[in-house]
């Protein structure tokens, strides 16, 4: 049971929980229509209830709700509900940062200031399902606001979705994507060959560098050491893997476990053989 504190629009309102006296954002079709301040309501089954007591990446939710147009909260909620359907449990704390990003994206589109994201292709490959889910925003924005969103903006929204399903903020996801891109370029420069971005070995290499960066950030370690085998059997791939790992350590400003070199060398060798 909630007591209505403020109606934001027909589909969103701020309510006070009757049990804990905390503020909540309620999003649901028609939930705000005709409601009066202090009126007591039950949250409908399909309604999203979000605690405004949350501390988000952009600050306290209770403050952010004052500055974000509720239409973008609704759109963000639609995308996150679809994400929850596809991925299972997600972290709803991303609701406000995502709504904020969508609001600025729409503003850029309307002002013809659309941005280019050099990592769009890498995001599409690294976070394939997240990108496909983010694409659902296209028809929503077209129908509700009459704007068309491009693939670069979709790439950024995909990172928000990724941060909602993984314990990883948007900035870190972007950093990992950028690091992966630089490491792949380093492999191409060292080997003198262009890697086919649609090949299975490329995707394996890209995902390996992604998880290698994530392990470094989280301080996780691999158990099996393949360094002796790879350095003896494939010395060129091992040397290149050592170079890439050194580059990654400098970029992330975190040490890599030494056994990462052997695993990376294995993936580089697969690319070379293909």
| Domains (range + CATH), the chain | 1-53 (2.30.24.10), 56-167 (1.10.1790.10), 176-273 (1.10.1790.10)
pLDDT in tens, 84-141: 999 998 988 889 889 988 999 999 999 988 777 778 888 888 888 999 999 999 999 9
221, pLDDT greater than 90: no
pLDDT in tens, 7-31: 999 999 999 999 999 999 999 999 9
E strand or H helix that includes residue 9:
strand 2-9
DSSP code of residue 20: T
Classify residue 139 as exposed, middle or buried by CB count within 10 Å of its CB (0-12, 13-18, 19+).
exposed
Q: Computed over its alpha carbons, how large is the radius of gyration of the chain? A: 23
Full-model pTM: 0.75
3-state SS class at 40? strand
pLDDT at 138: 95
Please state, rounded to an integer, the average pLDDT across all residues of the chain: 87
> For strand 23-27 and strand 48-51, is the pairing parallel, antiparallel, or unpaired?
antiparallel
CB 5 within 8 A of CB 37: yes
196, pLDDT greater than 90: no
User: Rounded to the nearest 5 degrees, what angle is found at the Cα of 108, between the Cα atoms of 106 and 114?
Assistant: 115
């Amino acid at each position: 049971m909630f007591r209505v504190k403020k109606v934001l629009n027909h589909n969103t309102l701020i309510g006070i929980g009757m049990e804990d006296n905390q503020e909540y954002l309620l999003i649901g079709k028609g939930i705000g229509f005709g409601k009066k301040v202090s009126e007591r309501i039950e949250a409908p089954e399909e309604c999203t209830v979000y605690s405004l007591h949350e501390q988000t990446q952009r600050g306290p939710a209770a403050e952010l709700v004052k500055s974000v147009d509720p239409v973008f909260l609704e759109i963000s909620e639609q995308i996150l509900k679809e994400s929850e359907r596809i991925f299972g449990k997600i972290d709803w704390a991303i609701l406000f940062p995502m709504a904020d990003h969508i609001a600025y994206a729409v503003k850029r589109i309307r002002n013809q200031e659309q941005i280019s994201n050099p990592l769009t292709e890498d995001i599409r490959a690294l976070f394939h399902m997240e990108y496909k889910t983010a694409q659902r925003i296209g028809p929503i924005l077209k129908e509700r606001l009459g704007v068309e969103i491009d693939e670069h903006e979709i790439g950024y929204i995909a990172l928000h979705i990724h941060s909602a399903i993984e314990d990883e903020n948007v900035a870190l996801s972007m950093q990992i994507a950028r690091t992966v891109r630089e490491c792949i370029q380093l492999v191409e420069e060292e080997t003198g060959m262009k890697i086919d971005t649609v090949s299975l070995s490329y995707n394996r290499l890209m995902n390996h560098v992604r998880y290698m960066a994530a392990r470094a950030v989280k301080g996780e370690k691999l158990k099996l050491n393949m360094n002796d085998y790879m350095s003896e059997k494939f010395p060129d791939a091992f040397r290149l893997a050592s170079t890439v790992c050194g580059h990654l350590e400098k970029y992330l400003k975190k040490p890599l476990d030494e056994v990462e070199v052997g695993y990376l060398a294995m993936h580089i060798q697969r690319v070379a053989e293909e």
